[in-house]
Amino acid sequence: MAIFRGAGGSGDATTDAANQASVASNKAAEAASSATAAAGSATTAATSATASSASATASASSATSAASSATSATSSATAAAASYDDFDDRYLGPKSSNPATDNDGDTLVVGALYFNTTTNIMMTYTGSAWQSIATGGTGLLASNNLSDVQSASTSRTNLGVAIGSDVQAFSSVLAGTTASYTTAEKTKLSGIETAATADQTGAQIKTAYEAETNAFTDAQFTKLAGIEASATADQSAAEIKTAYESNADTNAFTDADHTKLDGIEASATADQTGAQIKTAYEAETNAFTDAQFTKLAGIESSADVTDATNVTAAGALMDSEVTNLAQVKAFDSSDYASAGSVTGKNKIINGNFLINQREVSGTVTLAHGVYGHDRFKGGSSGATYTFATSANVTTITITAGSLIQVVEGSNLQSGTHVLSWTGTAQGKIGGGSYAASGVTGTATGGSNLSIEFNTGTISKVQLEEGSTATAFDHRLVGHELVLCQRYYSQPVDSGYDFFAGYFVSGNYGPGCFGTWHAQMRAVPTVVVTLGSLNAVGSVSVNYFDEKRFHLNPTANATSNGFWYLAKLTADAEL
């Protein structure tokens, strides 16, 4: 196959490369020969002073020729390589599918070729897509109707073309037809049964008539034939009676019905006695019997289902006296213990979110394990929430993550506990599953227990013993604060410098002694923040435990001075 390769003209790339390599080899031989001649000239120059100059000149000329030959050889080799690369870029060889780049990984050139080993078709690149050479361009010529092949239909299928697209159809039969059936006419003809003739038999007409109309069928004629021949308009009374009684559409008395009527006592009259009427009435209805009247007579005359005084005096409660009737009706024996001890039933501390010692505000973002409102910390993915207080009820809206409270085991008894709250968030106990308010779980006395809430709103959180949630336990705010201070305390957090002590001439002065607001759960972590007006180098907490603390200052001046505190916190959270 010939290709165009620039100034070199057309020719086979393999032959051209070989020719160029031969030329390069010849040039290299000439260079070697020239170098040999130069060496000989140098030898001659050594033996002959007269011929030395001429030989030197000849030697230089030979060297120049050798350099020129080497340059030509290099150029020829470069041209051969470029020619081969151009050929390799245009004919890509056999491949199983359309390549996206040439053999060097470069952009395809227009006119590039390759043989598709999957379809056995030679493909050419148009500049935007690969196209089969067999069906490319404008398709097969109209004059080539494949009449010269053994099977034109098979040939068209193999070529991937069909009559009516790129190949024009031709038929001597159709060409000689002056009036052909249209598709619509052919459909109509196909709908006529094969046996249809103009002289159909009576049986054929009868069958078609019975199938398409409401005409009598053979079965219906048989029914008509079954009507008794003696049927007349002057049937006897016995015949009429029998037909009338047996007809399901009438309510005529039968002989059996007459027998029942005959069984009614002869003395039955409209003036039955009261005893007769009473007996019959009690036997057939839900009327009060003598025994029932006796029961009613035993009820006090003033009894009234709305009489709360009498009902309460009997030891019962009226529905109207119960605040939450549904909860009262749902009580069982397992609920009595917790129901009987209302104070302290809630194991959650700060369930109404009224205590906020850390003074979080706005949109609160907590990392894992970091606390916001007292006793509530961020879950495994932290927590983001906002909050608002109305009518002494604080509602938290969790927008991301979760909030956790770890209930101290010393506050728990073993058994079933129920977690309840108000809001749209879902909660869970320990390793249980999230669910709406009313989640139950099992606590083990003396072991800590976590409760957790996901995104949504929460308020009035309560964990109590039993399986039925009761009304939220509103504790006094002072009581709630003391419960929180067992885990986190801020003895100093006034927003102003707090006078703590003094020192004399740079020596240690007396330290600051104090006690936590409440005895803490464990020895806390203490953080001291000095005030802005102080003359102390540092302050160390050299003694503290669950009950008290001692702060000891280190002076940084030689004169007398005072030192101040801005904040002091103690953390013993779970």
- Top pLDDT among 205 and 146 is at 205
Q: What CATH number does domain 341-475 carry, 1.20.120, 2.60.120, 3.40.630, 1.25.40?
A: 2.60.120
Q: What is the mean pLDDT of residues 117-137?
A: 82
Q: What is the mean pLDDT of residues 89-104?
A: 90
- The answer to whether residues 442 and 417 touch, using CB atoms and an 8 Å cutoff, is yes
- Top pLDDT among 8 and 366 is at 366
Of all residues in the chain, the percent with pLDDT exceeding 90 is 33
Per-residue pLDDT at 164: 46
- Top pLDDT among 32 and 570 is at 570
CA distance 188 to 179: 17
Per-residue pLDDT at 141: 46
- Radius of gyration of the CA atoms of the chain, in A: 57
Other beta carbons within 10 Å of 227: 8
Q: Looking at 103-152, which runs of residues are DSSP E strands?
A: 113-116, 121-125, 130-132
Whether residue 389 is predicted with pLDDT greater than 90 in this model: the reply is: yes
Q: What is the mean pLDDT of residues 21-30?
A: 66
Whether residue 423 is predicted with pLDDT greater than 80 in this model: the reply is: yes
Whether residue 96 is predicted with pLDDT greater than 50 in this model: the reply is: yes
Cα 175 to chain center, whole Å?
65
Whether residue 169 is predicted with pLDDT greater than 50 in this model: the reply is: no
Task: Give the torsion sign (CA, 301, 307, 312, 317).
Answer: positive
Residues 6 or more apart in contact with residue 21 via CB below 8 angstroms: 76, 77, 80
> Pairing mode, if any, of strands 91-95 and 113-116?
parallel
- The answer to whether residues 332 and 448 touch, using CB atoms and an 8 Å cutoff, is no
Whether residue 336 is predicted with pLDDT greater than 60 in this model: the reply is: no
